Chains A and B, each alone.
Chain A
Amino acid sequence: MTVKLNHEGVIILAGECPVEDAETLLEHLQARRDGPVDWSGCTALHTAVLQILMAARPKLLGECGDGFVRTWAAIAPRDGVAAKGRKTARDRKSES
């Protein structure tokens, strides 16, 4: 189990988050829609898990530990756009 709720009420994604984690994450978010979710410790996000984050758009703590997702699939705050790969790509370009 890589999805945990810590004593401060933060949903923590850690290590490789497989497809099953989507259901657990969804249950947590159904209880507390805004999270927050700390995804800095996850190393690989399954599509199903990303999808739950995109649907719920909780408050996210830190940068995604999964580089691919960080680069291409940034999740906007709830009033923003779901995902903006292009911007992130440009951001990264300007960083390098």
Chain B
Amino acid sequence: MNALLEQFVIEARELVNEASDELLALERLPGDQQRIDVVFRAFHTLKGGAAIADLPDMTQLLHVGEDLLSALRGRKLPCTSDIINALLACVDQVGHWLADIETTGRLPDLAAERAAVLAADLRRFLPRSSVETAVRADSEFDWAARIIADDPALSAKAGHGAIVAIAYDPQPNCFFDGDNPLGLLRKVPQLVFLDVRARSPWPDLQKINPFACNLAFRALTLASRHDVGQVFRYIPDQVRIAEIARGSDSSAAARERSSRDLARKILAAQRTLLAAPCPEKEFFGRLGAAIEVAKNVLRFAGAEGGAARIEAVRAEATSARNADVVLRVLDQLLSSAASDWSKADSVHDTEGAPAGELPATRTLRIEEAKVDRRLDVAGELIVAKNTMNDLAARIGAELGEVEIARAVRNQTAVIDRLVGQTHHSAVQLRMVPLAQAFRRLPRVVRDVSHELGKQAAITMKGEDIEADKSVVDAIFEPLLHVLRNALDHGIEPPEGRRAAGKPEQAEITLGAFRHGEHIVIELGDDGRGIDPAAVRRKAREQSLIGEEEARELSDDQAIQLVFAEGLSTAAQVSQVSGRGVGLAAVRATVERLGGAVGVASQSGRGTTVRLTLPLSMAFMRIMTIHAGGEVFGVPIEAIAETVRLPRAHILQIKNGEAFVLRDRIVPTCRLDRLLDLPNVGICDRDNDALILVTDAGGQTAGLEIDSIGERLDVVVKPMQGLLAEVQDYAGTTMLGNGRVLLVLNLGAVLQ
């Protein structure tokens, strides 16, 4: 792929996103002129880019879309959901093509056909007149070409000679100048056509001024242009004369014309064939053949749009077992001038927004790898700086309060600050707004709710909050799962909502806010909510929890079980969701990102799923812990609290251990055992047990450890290579003393 195309794909993708966002917004608020403007500009810019990138099929499709938007903009058309659907289809197609271009470097083979079909779909909304005026404005003498094309006898009469067209618009006061327009026209030799018509509608007869000329004349003659000019030599300002391109038959125009004559005959034959009575069993064969022939002949005549019009009615004719719709299109084609078949396709530029009007976005594109390299270096700087801190502390300890020690400590503090800033700015480079993940969701709401026969609207808040690109990229899938769940299980069908006294259209809210070093994303619906009893029952049936545990769980705790592996409360697996992996997968993804999930629900009132994620994955606050003779890092946010309690308070329940924490039974386990490490014997009967309480596994659990170390801000690198598959660790980090620390993923450890 060349650089030009590459650049186009990058920019086009943003424009496609923008256009589809705004189109969806338009659907909610039809007629919002500002949004129409934005979509129009996006189409316009896309079209320009596609033309430069030499993608004619894409250009043509976008061009028709732009025409349609221009009509919406000029309020010549109401902004209906049908139009928006068609425009969205167009935007989607462009999006697919961009993906194709990215992988193969070009448009797929059938792009032209696809573009023609979509363009025809868009074009059917365009007011006929707007197409015609646009065409007429293109060329002063189109009427002449049309008449010549429509009247074979006239061409025959002209033979190889030229036909000269005259457009004569006398001035209103021409009679006072002694002009007699009819008299002049009488003098035109070899006149073959004359059309006299009123230039503006006639006024009431009582008010008419008999001496003001209100006539316009259009004439064709076989005489030479020079001879015609002679006739009108005194009034050159009121007449326009042109030779209509015909000339010798070897000219391209003539070839085109003759091919169109042929096309017309073949089309007429298809019409006759389809109109003739036909035995039932032959109908489809005949219809198919006629459509194929008509399409091919129209393409041959350069009228791709005509072919698309035929194709557009094929399905209707087939399902109705009736060729009437095809006949109608054929009639329209046959009754319009051959030049119009393609005229509707002709590329003409509508007035676009000048480039200067576009809001200038001052951005710089940088390859992600470069930013990451910068971040890596900044991370290494932090490690080096931590080492410096160690050294400064040692110098202080060994030399005592001497000047050199103080100077080193001061300089270390300066470096500390600068390194912090460097790292922070590197992290900032990777920060992108959540909107990048959110913007695709309204479309999902729309499509999925249609599919399910439900009505839902989504409102979004906080989409301008920024988070690390990897977080934003990774959050889309989980959000999609949660959203589909809400639409499928949460939201009732319209009749159910009516019965429950709710508006038929469900409200889905997606909100994000910052909470310290985290972002919290909440997706709520106003549907039926989660029934805690049903979740308990299911969890029991699927042996996810024990009998006793089921009783112990509060309603609030019970509904958290929807995140447990293998639990689905949906009675049947639907196409959209309900396979019992959805929410567990959400939890797994979010926890891998160093986040947490939670759900709140009120029966009959709705459900809110809350995802808590780190703002930046690069920087993590951890606590070091000791277990089994090893040191590990644990993300602070995974730790709900740490408790120290007499070992006697740990109860044996069947095979497991548990303890009571504020009237709740919390299952607990020794970390060294979970990690298959030797028991180094600190945990004996005499010592108190030290337990980390965590919610990371989807439910509260305890992890017994040997001791707690220090708190650190570290740069965690994900596990790579063979180790990438090891779920128990979130990644590694380097300590100030050069040791590598493994950071635990408590959620996975507890599985």
Q: Is A83 located at the chain interface by the 8 A CB criterion? A: yes
Please, how many angstroms separate the alpha-carbon atoms of A86 and B180 in the complex? 22
Q: How far is the CA of A48 from the CA of B175 in the complex (A)?
A: 8
State A69–B217 Cα separation when bound (angstroms).
Answer: 13
Report the separation of the CA atoms of residues A55 and B186 in the bound assembly, to the nearest whole angstrom: 21
Instruction: Output the least CB separation between A33 and chain B (Å).
Output: 6
Q: Which of A19, A47, A55, A82 gathers the greatest number of chain B CB atoms within 10 Å? A: A47
Taken residue by residue from 209 to 230, chain B's Cβ proximity to chain A (1 for < 8 Å, 0 otherwise) reads as 0110111000000000000000
Q: A55-B205, A68-B186 are in contact. Are A47 and B181 (CB under 8 A)?
A: yes
Docked-complex contact B211 and A55, CB < 8 angstroms: no
What residues of B have a CB within 8 angstroms of the CB of A91 in the complex?
none
Chain B residues bordering chain A, tally (CB within 8 A) = 28
Chain A, residue nearest B215 (CB) = A51
Counting CB contacts under 8 A, is A7 at the interface? no
State the CA gap A73–B186 with chains docked (Å). 12
| Chain A positions 55 through 91: 1 when the CB is less than 8 Å from some CB of chain B, otherwise 0 | 1100000000000110011000000001111100110
Contact A47 to B183, CB < 8 A, known contacts A33-B205, A55-B198, A73-B196: yes
Which partner residue on chain B sits nearest A45 by CB separation?
A: B182
B147 in the interface (beta carbon within 8 A): yes
Q: How far is the CA of A46 from the CA of B174 in the complex (A)?
A: 12
Residues of A within 8 A of B208 (CB): 26, 52, 55
* Residues of B contacting A50 in the complex (Cβ-Cβ under 8 angstroms): 182, 196, 215
Closest residue on chain B to residue A72 by CB atoms:
B194
- Judge whether B101 is part of the interface by a CB distance below 8 angstroms: no
| Contact between B153 and A93, CB atoms less than 8 A apart | yes
- The interface on chain A, measured as residues whose beta carbon lies within 8 A of the other chain's beta carbons, has a size of 30
Residues A86 and B147 in contact, CB atoms below 8 Å apart: yes
Cα of A93 to Cα of B151 in the assembled complex, Å = 12
Binary interface encoding of chain B residues 609-626 relative to chain A, with 1 for a CB under 8 A from any of its CBs, else 0: 000000000000000000
Residue B234 CB within 8 A of the other chain: no
Q: Is A5 in the interface zone, CB < 8 Å from B? A: no
The answer, yes or no, to whether B193 is at the interface (CB within 8 Å) is yes
- Considering only CB atoms, which chain B residue lies closest to A46 in the complex? B180
Distance in Å: Cβ of B191 to nearest Cβ of chain A: 7
Residues of the B chain whose Cβ atoms lie less than 8 Å from the Cβ of A89: 192-194
Chain B binding site: helix, strand, loop or mixed by DSSP? mixed
Q: Once the chains are docked, how many angstroms separate the CA of A83 from the CA of B205? A: 18
| A34 → B minimal CB distance (Å) | 11
Residue of B151, B195, B213 near A51 (CB, 8 A) is: B213
The residues of A that contact B175 with a CB separation of less than 8 Å are 19, 47-48
In the bound complex, residues from chain B placing their C-beta under 8 Å from that of A25 are 210
Whether A54 pairs with B206 at a CB distance below 8 angstroms is: no
Give B341-378 interface residues, CB cut-off 8 Å to A.
none
User: What residue of chain B has the Cβ atom nearest to residue A19's Cβ?
Assistant: B175
Q: Say yes or no: is A29 at the interface (Cβ < 8 Å to chain B).
A: yes
Contacts of A45 in B (CB 8 A): 182
B196 adjacent to A83 (CB under 8 Å): yes
B211 touches A19 (CB 8 A): yes
A26-B205 in contact (CB<8A) = yes
Q: C-beta contact mask, A2-36 vs B, less than 8 Å → 1, else 0?
A: 00000000000000000100110110011001000
B610 CB → nearest A CB, Å: 72
B182 cross-chain contacts in A, Cβ below 8 A: 45-47, 50, 68-69, 73
Task: Give B339 Cβ to nearest chain A Cβ, in Å.
Answer: 17
Given contacts A50-B182, A52-B210, A93-B153, contact A29 B194 (CB under 8 A): no
By a CB distance below 8 angstroms, the chain B residues around A54 are 196, 198, 202, 215
- B205 is contacted by which of A30, A46, A51, A86 (Cβ under 8 Å)? A30
Determine if B197 and A23 form an interchain contact, defined as CB atoms under 8 angstroms apart.
no
Q: How far is the CB of B182 from chain A (nearest CB, A)?
A: 4
B715: min CB distance to chain A, Å: 83
Report B-chain residues with C-beta under 8 Å of the C-beta of A84.
Answer: 195
Q: Mark B141-181, 1 if CB is under 8 A from A, else 0.
A: 00000010001010000000000000000100001000011
Which residues in B have their C-beta under 8 angstroms from that of A47? Answer: 170, 175, 180-183, 213, 215
Q: Which residue of B lies closest to A50 (CB)?
A: B182
Contacts of B193 in A (CB 8 A): 85-86, 89
Q: Which of A22, A46, A48, A85 contacts B196 (CB 8 A)?
A: A85
Q: B194 to A51, Cβ gap below 8 A?
A: no
Q: Is the CB of B183 within 8 A of A48?
A: no
Neighbouring A residues of B185 by C-beta, 8 Å: 68, 72
CA distance A6 to B567 in the complex (A): 103
Question: A93: nearest residue on chain B (CB-CB)?
Answer: B153
Check B210–A83 contact: CB distance below 8 A: no
A13 to B211, CA, bound (A): 18
List, in ascending order, chain A residues with CB within 8 A of B214's CB: 51, 55
- Bound together, the chains give a CA A23 to CA B205 distance in angstroms of 12
Contact B194 A73 (CB under 8 A): yes
**A29 CB contacts on chain B under 8 angstroms:** 205
Give the Cβ gap from B573 to chain A, nearest Cβ, in Å: 67
Q: How far is the CA of A51 from the CA of B197 in the complex (A)?
A: 9
Given A55-B198, A69-B182, A85-B195, the answer on whether A48 and B205 have CB atoms closer than 8 Å is no
> Which of A22, A68, A86 has the most B CB atoms < 10 Å from its CB?
A86
- Complex contacts, A93 vs chain B, CB 8 Å: 153
> Which residues from chain A contact B195 at a C-beta distance below 8 Å?
83-86
**Chain B residues with CB below 8 A from A85, complex form:** 193-196
Q: For residue A22, which residues in chain B have a CB less than 8 angstroms away from its CB?
A: 210-211
Hey, which chain B residues are within 8 Å of A26, CB to CB?
Answer: 205, 208, 210
B180 → A minimal CB distance (Å): 5
Complex interface: chain B residues within 8 A of A83 (CB)? 195-197
| Most chain A C-beta atoms within 10 Å of own C-beta, residue among B175, B185, B214 | B175
Kindly report which residue of chain B lies nearest to residue A73, judged by CB atoms: B196
B198 CB contact (under 8 Å) in A19, A48, A69, A82: A82
- Which A residues are in CB contact (< 8 Å) with B194? 72-73, 85, 89
Interfacial chain A residues near B151, Cβ < 8 Å: 86
State A51–B213 Cα separation when bound (angstroms).
8
- Report chain A residues within 8 Å CB of B170: 47
CB contacts (< 8 Å) of B183 on chain A: these are: 46-47
Q: List 9 A-B contacts (CB under 8 A).
A: A46-B182, A48-B175, A50-B182, A51-B213, A52-B210, A56-B205, A72-B191, A85-B196, A89-B192
Task: Name A residues whose Cβ lies closer than 8 Å to a Cβ of B.
Answer: 19, 22-23, 25-26, 29-30, 33, 45-48, 50-52, 54-56, 68-69, 72-73, 82-86, 89-90, 93
The 3 A-B pairs at the shortest CB distance, nearest first, are namely A72-B194, A22-B210, A55-B202
> Apart from A48-B211, A55-B198, A84-B195, what are 6 other A-B pairs with CB-CB below 8 Å?
A46-B183, A47-B183, A55-B205, A72-B196, A83-B195, A89-B192
